[in-house]
Amino acid sequence: AGRGIAIVAHVSSAWGCRRIPGGGKAVWCEFAFPAKRTPPGP
């Protein structure tokens, strides 16, 4: 077995998988990035 799902679970904020009709799986994931901050003005 590979380590792909473990890596996805570690680096993503959410993930899941589902079976595809006809065989196989589809895996999805979400990545949460921090909000971009605007530097204070002069």
Global confidence as pTM: 0.59
Q: Residue 36: what pLDDT?
A: 82
Q: What is the pLDDT along the chain (42 residues), one digit of tens a residue?
A: 578 889 999 999 999 999 999 999 999 999 998 888 887 777
Distance CA 6, CA 37 (A): 31
Dig out the tokens for 1 from the structure: 């077995």
Q: Residue 29: what pLDDT?
A: 94
Place of tokens 């595809």: 20
Distance CA 17, CA 26 (A): 5
Place of tokens 């002069």: 42
Place of tokens 């979400």: 30
